[in-house]
Chain A
């Protein structure tokens, strides 16, 4: 029998559980690579750019959409007119197909003349330094004489704990330890479906220093609504710790959006616990260290 890859087939034998473990870890690293693709590019942006298809400044764009009419010659013309009204020049219908008697599907190509001036773009970013696990523990251990109370919850009716768990669980995520592992934090994960009222109660009861909230369900911007609800709830309560650091996160979250609705920071998909911990450490030293001295 052919055995193309001896090394691989021997991996499965005997110590199988370990091999699967390795495999999962390896895969995680891969997805980490995938997540890292968004990382800021070193090159300095400059000047005006246009969309890039085949060559610089060709402005090529592809779009697909549905029209509420049967696929026919009139539909093709209608599709072209839509493209034109979207400022897409030299549009051509690459594909038209009937979805059923009443609807038709289109793939349209064209050129977009629009230009964007990169000098005009400003994106608020978290520019705190990245610390290591021990560094954070040492740093906070020296400067604060207590543990920081960190509360976490997935709020509203959302049952998806993947996000908050990835940040909190002792085991961590992609080999990066979770907040529960840090000796400088008293990390409490309230997990899923936590009502904002209950969370506010808990924040007051524990006199929390940091609160992290997560939403994975984002239909009709329900995550934003829920995040706002928490802020509203907190502002209506008494005895809420004044220096509370408020952080939100989820697959549709950016730092800018978080700031816009009144949080201190927002973390999007692919965030590692260490990044959150570094932020907390930086922010906590600024907010709490003075009073300790």
Chain B
């Protein structure tokens, strides 16, 4: 339902501009690969486990292999190297092969370089196992969602974060939140995990401001939530982060463990974690291909721009970035229903009519991306120690969520900006959200806006500014625009940042079986 009469022509032109901005980026992406992508190929091919290089720091086998091979060999694609080894030593399994490579006992001089089709045929059993497993997890998830459903549908899906640092403690919090009505559980990652160039291994019980994303932790949490889902007769979704220097590996882990959502946004890493823009955009593309196949929904991080830059003046950056993210996601094969664009409630509460401005922005995003499940983020920036006032802000935010028919509402915490949420903080948040979503259940259907009223004018103004902004980006190019600090007022150098040395150009005969297999997957 359109309510604010946006100019469809401008929206269409914004999409064309996004396509034009994305085009050269995609060409660049397709010509390059990264160490993270090669490590995820290894993971998919069944290379598992980790070795303790330093005490208490298990380092994944995939990292050891990729480090050992070096970029010179990786240019062909790690799958090509693996196929060559398998060709010479057909009886080696993954563990044996990993051991031999890491110990340097493989004589690469004596290996025959195979053409891609031959390599493909040779690795077929391993490839099939990976794809079958991912598909199985996808169908399982879809069955559960179908069988259990959401229970009584009431407003947006309620998204709650847990972040104790200890996965077993997280499980308790998550199950408790689910019982109080949470629909989505997101396990916040340990601070700065995005800067680790490897994925930690095994179940973890210590983290900083969050819990490490490891495959074992994913499994523990998913199993616990499955149990709770059955108990409640309502499917509880699980969310984690596929971002940072291990973006594509975590996408593979999420696919293998049946996660429902992954936060996945290169722009976030570039702007807020100082990860090299080229590296993370290449990683993002492959990770989204995996995600598309696995039927996972992505969530993007535009909402974060408003936490550092002023929300009132910078909304056009958010919208422009949403257009770009939508385009890049579709090129990686994601369906609209899988693209959860980020949006946030961050206008200074002391601004007059701030509620109307929020309403306008939320409604605008809803209408411009009608089929995307928008991830609507709560106020954080203007929260301080007054938890009572913060609780009221969250209530206003929940109002806007139900008034504009949002799909995913990340519930705000009254104690935001003070500490990780306590059990009781989540309890208040859910109690209040349950009340508001129930009280305002049909509000979306009943509300119309006054033509040329403040809401419509605000939305129109932001769309116009977005249009101008995208034109400027189109003239400069995406990389250059980021360099000039056009997003979130955070300039980042094209070849600066972390992870730049992990990029390499693909050789002519580069081989990555999953690249072709997952191409255009999620799309109908």
Structural contact, A219 and B424, CB atoms closer than 8 A: no
Contacts A162-B308, A193-B274, A251-B384; A103 near B461 (Cβ below 8 A): no
Structural contact, B352 and A99, CB atoms closer than 8 A: no
**List of A residues within 8 angstroms of B208 by Cβ:** 219-220, 222
Q: CB within 8 A of A23: which of B307, B351, B419, B422? A: B351
Number of A positions contacting B (CB below 8 A): 36
Structural contact, B424 and A64, CB atoms closer than 8 A: yes
B443 at the interface (CB under 8 A from A): no
Structural contact, B350 and A30, CB atoms closer than 8 A: yes
Structural contact, B350 and A99, CB atoms closer than 8 A: no
Among the 9-residue stretches A115-123, A144-152, A153-161, A272-280, the one with 4 or more Cβ atoms under 8 Å from chain B is: A153-161
**List of B residues within 8 angstroms of A23 by Cβ:** 351-353
**A19→B316 CA distance, assembly (Å):** 18
Structural contact, A66 and B423, CB atoms closer than 8 A: yes
Contacts A24-B351, A100-B179; A66 near B209 (Cβ below 8 A): no
A259 to chain B, nearest CB (A): 22
A45 at the interface (CB under 8 A from B): no
**Interface of A, helix, strand, loop or mixed by DSSP:** mixed
**A159→B179 CA distance, assembly (Å):** 35
**List of A residues within 8 angstroms of B191 by Cβ:** 157, 217, 219
CB-CB nearest in chain B for A8: B454
**A20→B420 CA distance, assembly (Å):** 35
Structural contact, B209 and A27, CB atoms closer than 8 A: no
Contacts A66-B422, A100-B179; A31 near B274 (Cβ below 8 A): no
Structural contact, B350 and A161, CB atoms closer than 8 A: no
**List of A residues within 8 angstroms of B490 by Cβ:** 159, 161, 191-192
**List of A residues within 8 angstroms of B272 by Cβ:** 159
Q: CB within 8 A of A27: which of B176, B195, B273, B350? A: B350
**List of B residues within 8 angstroms of A191 by Cβ:** 490
**A12→B424 CA distance, assembly (Å):** 43
B392 to chain A, nearest CB (A): 14
**List of A residues within 8 angstroms of B351 by Cβ:** 23-24, 27
CB-CB nearest in chain B for A21: B313
Interface residues of B in 175-215 (CB under 8 A from A): 175-176, 179-180, 191-192, 195, 208-209
**List of A residues within 8 angstroms of B307 by Cβ:** 160
B393 to chain A, nearest CB (A): 13
CB-CB nearest in chain B for A33: B350
**A16→B272 CA distance, assembly (Å):** 32
Q: Fill in one digit per residue for A93-126: 1 if any B CB lies within 8 Å of its CB, else 0.
A: 0000101111101000000000000000000000
**Interface of B, helix, strand, loop or mixed by DSSP:** loop
B95 at the interface (CB under 8 A from A): no
**List of B residues within 8 angstroms of A100 by Cβ:** 175-176, 179-180
B121 at the interface (CB under 8 A from A): no
A34 at the interface (CB under 8 A from B): yes
B444 at the interface (CB under 8 A from A): no
Interface residues of B in 404-463 (CB under 8 A from A): 417, 419-420, 422-424, 427, 454, 457, 461
Interface residues of A in 61-110 (CB under 8 A from B): 64-66, 97, 99-103, 105
**List of A residues within 8 angstroms of B423 by Cβ:** 66, 99, 103
B312 at the interface (CB under 8 A from A): yes
| Interface range for B | 35 or more
Structural contact, B384 and A269, CB atoms closer than 8 A: yes
CB-CB nearest in chain A for B424: A66
**A256→B238 CA distance, assembly (Å):** 44
Q: Fill in one digit per residue for A207-236: 1 if any B CB lies within 8 Å of its CB, else 0.
A: 000000000010110100000000000000
**A241→B191 CA distance, assembly (Å):** 33
Q: CB within 8 A of A99: which of B195, B427, B457? A: B427
B303 to chain A, nearest CB (A): 14
**List of A residues within 8 angstroms of B312 by Cβ:** 20, 24, 27
Structural contact, A219 and B176, CB atoms closer than 8 A: no
**List of A residues within 8 angstroms of B420 by Cβ:** 219
Q: CB within 8 A of A157: which of B195, B308, B384? A: B195
B367 at the interface (CB under 8 A from A): no
CB-CB nearest in chain B for A32: B350
Q: Fill in one digit per residue for A183-212: 1 if any B CB lies within 8 Å of its CB, else 0.
A: 000000001110000000000000000000
**List of B residues within 8 angstroms of A222 by Cβ:** 208
**A26→B351 CA distance, assembly (Å):** 7
Structural contact, A65 and B209, CB atoms closer than 8 A: no
User: What are 16 A-B contacts with C-beta separation under 8 Å?
Assistant: A23-B351, A24-B313, A24-B351, A27-B350, A66-B422, A99-B427, A103-B176, A157-B195, A160-B307, A161-B308, A162-B381, A192-B274, A192-B490, A219-B208, A219-B419, A220-B209
A31-B350, A66-B427, A99-B180 given. 15 additional CB < 8 A pairs?
A16-B457, A23-B353, A26-B352, A27-B354, A31-B348, A34-B350, A105-B427, A157-B192, A159-B271, A159-B273, A193-B273, A217-B191, A219-B419, A219-B420, A269-B384
Which 5 pairs, one residue from A and one from B, show the smallest C-beta to C-beta distance?
A27-B351, A30-B350, A159-B272, A219-B209, A31-B350
